[in-house]
Amino acid sequence: MAYIAFPDQTFIHYEGFGGYEHKEQCEGRVVWLQNYLDDRELVHGHVAYVNVICEEIWAFPESIELRKKQNPASPAEFGA
């Protein structure tokens, strides 16, 4: 997820970029993505603060079940 703030605007833009199965894959792309977005805004004449973070989400039933098997946690983590 990339958050982009502009000095002349009072809100934050966000953009989702791809999906990765492993945390290391996402973290390996953070610097590239920050530079890409910064360059993209500079081309348009915008000054921007760009922050890219890797978020781990479990959005589908299959991924939730896989998470439970790989790393059992408290039932509250899964909304139980």
C-alpha 50 chain-centroid distance:
12
Rounded CA separation 25/70 (Å):
18
With the C-alpha atoms ordered 66, 17, 48, 14, is the resulting torsion angle positive or negative? negative
pTM of the predicted model as reported, rounded to 2 decimal places: 0.60
Amino acid at 43: V
When divided into structural domains, the chain yields a total of 1
Rounded CA separation 45/56 (Å):
33
CA atoms within 13 A on the CB side of 33: 20
Residue numbers in the chain where pLDDT is lower than 70? 21, 56-60, 63, 71-80
According to the model, what pLDDT value does residue 43 have?
93
